[in-house]
């Protein structure tokens, strides 16, 4: 049987990363966080004061990009040039810039090849914004995972408080809505479900229930 490929797409804060990690553990799959690739590009842009209009500067970043993933104690660590940047790339500033930079055709082209190499190996769960539509259209299971903006804001607030941080709830909710608009309205590969994707609104589900739902689909398909 062909190695299982699972594509998880959806807006920010729907729980794609957490659910994908659970799926990887339970189905013995590799987990690839494609959003982290774009976040690493955005992080490098910020660190090197490179703007969106500086194409040569962004291309230099892409040419030198060395990203690796490592699962450790249930966490998917992201290393950029050997440096652990897992926490640094998860800020709202990096996320917003990553969303904008991902709309640049030459950025998408550079990272597309990297993502396809992961996909071709199979036995993988990959999550992002256009996995089922562009990166891995051959995936046997495609899930478009979403939740109401308020539910996503609640989850993000809990993460922030757990980490010892503070954030205004209304400001966070506004950022999520703006990010949704930015992702769905961009010209290059806008966020949308694949035609054969299963739409899963997990506003009233926890991560365990969401993962169990998808595992059940895999089992019904014989995996």
Model confidence pLDDT, tens digit, residues 187-206:
777 889 999 999 999 999 99
Domain extents in the chain: 5-220
- The overall average pLDDT reported for the chain is 91
Mean pLDDT, to the nearest integer, of 8-22?
Answer: 92
130 within 8 A of 107, measured Cβ to Cβ: no
Structure tokens given for 5:
């490929």
Structure tokens given for 129:
């914004």
Closest CA to 105 of 188, 186, 190: 188
- pTM of full prediction above 0.85: no
Q: 214 in helix, strand or coil?
A: helix
Tell me the C-alpha distance between 168 and 60, whole Å. 36
Q: What is the DSSP string of 163-174?
A: TT----HHHHHH
- In the chain, how long is the greatest CA-to-CA distance? 50
Q: Which fold has domain 5-220?
A: Rossmann fold (3.40.50)
**For 88-128, what is each residue's pLDDT tens digit?**
999 989 999 998 998 899 998 999 888 898 888 889 999 98
Residue 176 has what pLDDT?
93
Q: Is the pLDDT of residue 42 over 80?
A: yes
Give Cα 80 to chain centroid, integer Å.
16
Structure tokens given for 67:
């990203």
Q: Is the pLDDT of residue 74 over 90?
A: no
Residue 85 has what pLDDT?
96
């Amino acid at each position: 049987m062909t190695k299982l490929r699972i594509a998880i797409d959806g807006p920010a804060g729907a729980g794609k990363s957490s659910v994908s990690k659970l799926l990887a553990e339970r189905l013995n799959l590799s987990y690839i966080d494609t959003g982290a690739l774009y976040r690493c590009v955005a992080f490098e842009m910020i660190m090197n004061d490179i703007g969106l209009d500086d194409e040569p500067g962004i291309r230099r970043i892409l040419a030198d990009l060395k990203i690796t993933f490592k699962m450790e104690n249930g966490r998917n660590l992201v290393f950029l040039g050997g440096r652990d940047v897992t926490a640094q790339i998860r800020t709202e500033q990096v996320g917003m810039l990553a969303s904008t930079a991902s709309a640049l055709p030459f950025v998408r082209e550079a990272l597309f090849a990297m993502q396809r190499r992961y996909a071709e190996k199979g036995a993988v769960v990959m999550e992002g914004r256009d996995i089922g539509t562009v990166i891995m259209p051959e995936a046997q299971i495609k899930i478009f995972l979403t939740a109401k903006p308020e539910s996503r804001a609640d989850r993000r607030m809990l993460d922030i408080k757990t980490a010892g941080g503070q954030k205004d709830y209304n400001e966070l909710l506004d950022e999520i809505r703006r990010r949704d608009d930015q992702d769905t309205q961009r010209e290059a590969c806008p966020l949308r479900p694949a035609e054969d994707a299963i739409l899963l609104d997990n506003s009233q589900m926890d991560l365990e229930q969401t993962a169990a739902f998808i595992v059940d689909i895999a089992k019904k398909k014989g995996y």
